[in-house]
């Protein structure tokens, strides 16, 4: 092969890398953000990155490649991960000729987690590969691949999906984030289906991206899972969340374990359930999701004896005393389903006065709604072990929402109570505890049961046969 052909190849590649586009890189840095490649480099283990899609071929007008969007296979803490990243340095960060659809196919085949950095304004109006080819690629109609949205729908419940939003994310980018199991965002970012130009055209209202769909609003309404201050924190959170899906060989208890009896007062004084969680799980392992949404209900990942577990807990220190409202019911159900899809056992810490609904004026009042059936259904259909610890109150449907209903299939594999537990009259004879234990015994009993129950990842949804190109 002639040297000038090789030289042309490397010159074309060079234009895709950050050193070959200094003006675009400077513009991204001036906005206080990392470039797409810098994000991926910070996420993946050094030396592990395999990039796809730098060049996709050569047409009569020149080499076909994508600037701004980058697609990689690599490892995080030695474990395989697929990641794709866009930034606003090339045509608004829109995805076009990238290999994201191809990567979704690889994720399906190998059950590799996917991390998406989704800043941008959606798909591009124009693409180097032409309208017909672009439409076909988006639909996934080529060998070995799958479509963008259809691909993410197929991956949901099959592999962990994590989105990181650290800037304006609109239209297709927002949709990509919405398909993910967890959305991590930075302050000042935004997620909306229609960007400012669309809103202005439709309603004659001028708004900035952060005014239109701020992530701070999504945090309050449950639309995101974690809000952090900046991109380094978002990258650290993404790495830590990926680790939450895996077991370790062992895990040491937290120093707080020595004070577990002190976490719950002997009277009816409200207390912070986080203290009990920290005392039960491995040292520094608890990773909370959606902490400021439905705050009467705590959900997050942790480890116990090295095993990955999902934690569901009532929060007696909440303004409603830990009652399960409609948002809390949905929060439980969604988290149970996430854990079940990845074979992660559940630990439920129970102390709730009951269920509530919102009245016509928006104020909470005692009662139940169809939303409260969601966690009961999710617990009934789960395939993973459930360990419940009743610390305080649990009455009626609230007890079922936290630990299943009275049948052999859905009851916890281990149902413990602390001496402070209370049950209602109608609950007293229907779901007996396996044991009433000293709080200091609780961790060891659950860890011992986890050792008897090997982790099994459910088969999940099967990809359907695809049309060929």
Indicate whether 428 belongs to any domain: yes
pLDDT of 395 above 90: no
Q: Within its chain, how far is the Cα of 264 from the centroid? A: 30
Same-domain status, 173 and 272 = no
Indicate whether 295 belongs to any domain: yes
Indicate whether 183 belongs to any domain: yes
Same-domain status, 260 and 216 = no
Indicate whether 459 belongs to any domain: no
**The pair of three-digit structure tokens given for residue 411, joined into one six-digit string:** 């009851």
Indicate whether 461 belongs to any domain: no
What confidence category does residue 137 fall into, taking pLDDT thresholds of 50, 70 and 90? very low
Q: Within its chain, how far is the Cα of 341 from the centroid? A: 12
Same-domain status, 186 and 90 = yes
Q: What percent of the chain has pLDDT over 90?
A: 50
Same-domain status, 211 and 261 = no
Q: What pLDDT, on the 0 to 100 scale, is given for residue 469? A: 25
Burial class of residue 116, CB neighbours in 10 A (0-12, 13-18, 19+): buried
**The pair of three-digit structure tokens given for residue 124, joined into one six-digit string:** 């591009």
pLDDT of 135 above 70: no
What confidence category does residue 437 fall into, taking pLDDT thresholds of 50, 70 and 90? very high
CA separation (Å) from 242 to 112, 235, 302, 372? Answer: 11, 11, 12, 30
pLDDT of 198 above 70: no
Question: How high does pLDDT run on average in the chain?
Answer: 83
Same-domain status, 202 and 312 = no
Domain boundary among 191, 223, 244: 244
pLDDT digits (tens, 9 = 90+) for 441-459: 999 999 999 999 988 887 7
Q: What pLDDT, on the 0 to 100 scale, is given for residue 206? A: 57
Is the pLDDT higher at 119 or at 44?
44
Same-domain status, 218 and 336 = no
Q: What pLDDT, on the 0 to 100 scale, is given for residue 277? A: 98
Q: Within its chain, how far is the Cα of 383 from the centroid? A: 20
Residue among 382, 375, 374, 338 nearest 162 (CA):
338
> Across 270-376, where does the E strand assignment appear?
287-289, 297-304, 307-314, 346-350, 356-358, 364-366
Domain range for 309 is 255-452
Q: Which range, of 17-31, 87-101, 271-285, 367-381, averages the lowest pLDDT? A: 87-101
DSSP string, 360-417: TTS-EEE---GGGHHHHHHHHH--S-EEEEE-S---HHHHHHHH--SSTTTS-SEEEE
Same-domain status, 52 and 175 = yes
Same-domain status, 350 and 432 = yes
pLDDT of 115 above 90: yes
The residue-averaged pLDDT of 139-143 equals 41
Distance CA 259, CA 257 (A): 5
Enter the DSSP assignment of 359.
Answer: -
Same-domain status, 360 and 435 = yes
Distance CA 267, CA 408 (A): 33
Same-domain status, 274 and 130 = no
Q: What pLDDT, on the 0 to 100 scale, is given for residue 9? A: 76
The residue-averaged pLDDT of 430-438 equals 86
CATH of the domain at 136: 3.90.226.10
Question: How many independent structural domains does the chain possess?
Answer: 2
Same-domain status, 233 and 261 = no
Same-domain status, 304 and 222 = no
Enter the DSSP assignment of 213.
Answer: S
């Amino acid at each position: 092969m002639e040297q000038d052909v090789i030289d042309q190849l490397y010159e074309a590649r060079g234009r895709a890398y950050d050193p070959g586009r200094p003006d675009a890189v400077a513009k991204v840095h001036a906005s206080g953000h990392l470039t797409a490649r810098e994000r991926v480099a910070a996420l993946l283990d050094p030396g592990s990155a395999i990039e796809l899609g730098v060049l996709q071929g050569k047409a009569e007008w020149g080499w076909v490649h994508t600037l701004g969007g980058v697609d990689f296979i690599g490892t995080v803490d030695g474990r395989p991960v697929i990641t794709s990243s866009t930034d606003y340095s090339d045509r608004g960060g829109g995805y076009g000729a990238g290999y994201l659809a191809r990567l979704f196919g690889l994720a399906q085949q190998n059950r590799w987690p996917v991390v998406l950095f989704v800043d941008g304004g959606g798909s591009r109006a124009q693409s180097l590969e032409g309208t017909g080819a672009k439409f076909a690629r988006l639909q996934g109609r080529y060998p070995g691949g799958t479509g963008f949205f259809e691909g993410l729908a197929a991956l949901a419940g099959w592999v962990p999906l994590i989105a990181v939003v650290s800037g304006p994310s609109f239209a297709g980018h927002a949709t990509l984030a919405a398909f993910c199991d967890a959305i991590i965002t930075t302050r000042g970012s935004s997620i909306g289906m229609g960007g400012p130009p669309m809103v202005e055209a439709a309603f004659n209202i001028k708004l900035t991206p952060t005014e239109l769909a701020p992530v701070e609003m999504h945090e309050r309404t449950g639309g995101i899972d974690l809000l952090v201050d900046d991109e380094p924190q978002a990258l650290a959170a993404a790495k830590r969340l990926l680790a939450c899906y895996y077991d370790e060989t062992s895990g040491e208890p937290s120093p707080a374990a020595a004070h577990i009896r002190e976490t719950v007062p002997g009277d009816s004084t409200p207390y912070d359930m986080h203290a009990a969680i920290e005392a039960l799980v491995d040292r520094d392992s608890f990773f909370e999701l959606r902490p400021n949404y439905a705050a009467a209900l705590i959900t997050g990942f942790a480890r116990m004896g090295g095993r990955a577990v999902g934690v569901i807990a009532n929060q007696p220190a909440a303004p409603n005393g830990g009652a399960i409202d409609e948002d809390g019911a949905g929060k439980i159900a969604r988290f149970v389903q996430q854990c079940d899809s990845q074979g992660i056992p559940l630990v439920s810490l129970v102390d709730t006065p009951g269920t509530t609904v919102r009245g016509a004026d928006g104020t909470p009042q005692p009662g139940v709604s169809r939303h409260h059936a969601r966690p009961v259904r999710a617990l009934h259909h789960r395939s993973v072990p459930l360990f419940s610890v009743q610390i305080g109150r649990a009455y009626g449907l609230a007890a079922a929402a936290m630990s299943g209903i009275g049948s052999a299939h859905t009851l916890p594999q281990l149902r413990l109570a602390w001496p402070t537990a209370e049950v209602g009259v109608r609950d007293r004879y229907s779901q007996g505890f396996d044991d009433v234990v000293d709080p200091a015994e609780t961790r060891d009993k659950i860890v011992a049961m986890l050792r008897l129950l090997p982790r099994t990842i459910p088969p999940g949804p099967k990809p359907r046969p695809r049309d060929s190109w």
